[in-house]
Amino acid sequence: MSNRTVSLDDRLYDYLLAVSVREPRVLAELREETAKLPNAGMQISPEQGQFMRLLVELLGARRTLEIGVFTGYSALCVAQALPPDGELVACDVSEEYTNVARRYWQRAGLEQRIQLELGPALATLDRRIAAGEAGSYDFAFIDADKESYQAYYERCLQLLRQGGLIAIDNVLWGGSVADPENQKSSTLAIRALNSKLADDPRVSVSLIPIGDGLFLARKR
Ligand code: SAM
Ligand code: CA
């Protein structure tokens, strides 16, 4: 027993997956297809996908945002947890990756809940703010280019209603955020966002050590 978060060796991680992950077949197949791609590591883990489904259910979310779709795994998790009239605005720049995503969203029968916005996410978010959508979203997942994380966070905070939740991925960045010798632009950007969240009075926060680290920020 310990009063700090337990480290997961392979055996314990396999146990966690075996006793808790209920991955629908369509998601398992998407994971198998994505595993053949050179950038497969960009996909969230199945237990994180399930955790995000639970968050969306707990929030009773109807309007949601995703910044960084890749082959559509996290988007499909969120879409599955939405009510039939729910919607996910899914932002990505890659037609190639999102073609895979769209195939699986269709296969799951959920493509009508997901509105794909192809183009730089910052422009999409700014367009939606300009269109008067501030304060109207329940949940946002940020998982695109790390250098823009602060800008995405500020836009999502505007777009969220009071009590809405932002989940920001990869905030532990494989451990490099805690290595002072790592001065890569992506690491600096994640570190800066983490420091900002640490004492941002606009949100309540918790950093969850799931996957590569998931920062949760609830708008006050
Ligand atoms: N959430 C995805 C999942 O679970 O499978 C993984 C997302 S992957 C880490 C990051 C994605 O961000 C890539 O698909 C990339 O094309 C996209 N991206 C990079 N820069 C972007 C930008 N400026 N605007 C929108 N999307 C961007
Ligand atoms: Ca990620």
Query: For 42-78, what is each residue's pLDDT tens digit?
Result: 999 999 999 999 999 999 999 999 999 999 999 999 9
Task: Determine, yes or no, domain membership for 172.
Answer: yes
The number of distinct structural domains making up the chain is 1
CA distance 196 to 185: 16
Residue 59 forms part of a structural domain: yes
Q: Which residues of the chain have pLDDT under 70?
A: none
d(CA 21, CA 23): 6
Residue pointed to by tokens 């991680």: 13
Beta strands across the sheet bearing 203-208:
114-118, 87-92, 63-67, 137-142, 160-169, 214-219, 203-208
> Is the shortest distance between the CB of 91 and ligand 1 below 6 Å?
yes
Q: What is the pLDDT of residue 2?
A: 83
- Assess whether the C-beta atom of 143 lies below 6 angstroms from ligand 1: yes
CB 204 within 8 A of CB 218: yes
In a domain, 135, yes or no: yes
Which residue's alpha carbon is at the smallest distance from atom 22 of ligand 1?
Answer: 120
Which CATH number belongs to the domain containing residue 53 in this structure?
A: 3.40.50.150
Q: Which residues have a beta carbon within 5 Å of ligand 2, which is an ion?
A: 143, 169-170
